């Protein structure tokens, strides 16, 4: 994605202040618990690549938990300036996910947080797999195309389902195929909750309760997260 296109998306979808505000919110703390728990099971000498690092919020969390070999990349130079000030002992680079400036199998862990919707997963995952060591882990997220795009075409649902027209969205089956093609075996997935399906909390709670039954969230969850291992 070109920097101009990225900045346009940022203007439309990101609150113009330090994204760390989200991590300190009630919803942010809840939705990031799984991420923190994931790293609690990993030795802290691993080499981590944080794609779409933004202002370094993820690096702050990880560095304070003993992970010091962190490299963050982004194509927003202003975000990178903030990240370097916040975590000066980490490395932050201006780089494109489609052309990563790293050698093959350089990293143990790759994270793509609040970024996958801005990039073409087919191209990005190819590069991620290249720089990820065999047996290495990758975390990424997905906006479900069924909910965020298709259902909006239904007249009586269009206003309730939030719009993601400007995002890259995929069906669960699509994201699995893309991962598999790039030797990334998904071993765990889950869904984000909140008000992603509607601005009305009660409607959202009912919806998430229903799709939690029998793994329906794999098909109907508006936003999903995945953990994969390179094989």
Q: Which tens digit of pLDDT belongs to each residue from 14-58?
A: 433 444 444 555 545 555 666 677 888 889 899 999 999 988 888
pLDDT band, very low/low/confident/very high, at 13 (cuts 50, 70, 90): very low
CATH code of domain 3-145+168-194+222-230: 3.40.50.150
Q: Return the pLDDT at 188.
A: 86
Distance CA(147)–CA(100), nearest Å, equals: 31
* Beta strands in the chain, from DSSP E residues, in sequence order: 48-51, 70-74, 91-94, 107-112, 132-143, 184-191, 223-230
Higher pLDDT, 174 or 4: 174
pTM for the complete prediction? 0.79
Q: Which tens digit of pLDDT belongs to each residue from 216-228?
A: 777 777 778 889 9
CA–CA distances in Å: residue 29 to residues 34, 99, 103, 147: 10, 32, 34, 24
At 136, is the secondary structure helix, strand, or coil? Answer: strand
What whole-number percentage of the chain has pLDDT above 70?
70
Distance CA(135)–CA(46), nearest Å, equals: 12
What whole-number percentage of the chain has pLDDT above 90?
38
Query: What does the mean pLDDT of the chain come to?
Result: 78
Residues in the chain: 231
Q: In terms of DSSP bridges, do strands 223-230 and 184-191 run parallel, antiparallel, or are they unpaired?
A: antiparallel
pLDDT band, very low/low/confident/very high, at 105 (cuts 50, 70, 90): very high
Q: Is the pLDDT of residue 9 over 60?
A: no
Q: Return the pLDDT at 89.
A: 95
Q: Is the pLDDT of residue 201 over 80?
A: no
Nearest 5°: phi and psi at 173? Answer: -65, -35
Q: Which residues pair with 109 in a beta bridge?
A: 48, 137
Distance CA(203)–CA(82), nearest Å, equals: 38
């Amino acid at each position: 994605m070109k920097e101009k296109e990225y900045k346009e998306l940022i203007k439309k979808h990101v609150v113009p202040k330090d994204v760390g505000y989200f991590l300190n919110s009630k919803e942010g703390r809840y939705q990031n618990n799984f991420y923190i728990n994931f790293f609690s099971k990993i030795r802290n000498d691993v080499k981590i690549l944080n794609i779409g690092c933004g202002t370094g919020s993820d690096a702050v969390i990880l560095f304070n938990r003993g992970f010091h070999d962190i490299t963050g990349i982004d194509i927003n130079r202003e975000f990178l300036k903030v990240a370097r000030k916040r975590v000066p002992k980490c490395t932050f680079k201006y780089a494109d996910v489609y052309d990563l400036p790293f050698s093959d199998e350089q990293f143990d862990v790759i994270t793509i947080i609040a970024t996958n919707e801005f990039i073409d997963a087919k191209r990005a995952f190819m590069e991620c797999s290249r720089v990820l060591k065999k047996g290495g882990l990758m975390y990424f997220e997905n906006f479900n195309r069924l909910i965020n795009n298709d259902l909006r075409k239904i007249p009586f649902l269009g206003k309730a389902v939030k719009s993601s027209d400007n995002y890259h969205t995929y069906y669960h089956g699509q994201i699995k195929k893309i991962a598999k093609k790039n030797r990334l075996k998904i071993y765990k997935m889950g869904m984000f909750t909140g008000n992603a399906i509607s601005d009305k909390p009660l409607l959202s709670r009912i919806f998430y309760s229903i799709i939690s039954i029998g793994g329906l969230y794999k098909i109907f969850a508006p936003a999903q997260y995945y953990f994969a291992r390179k094989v």
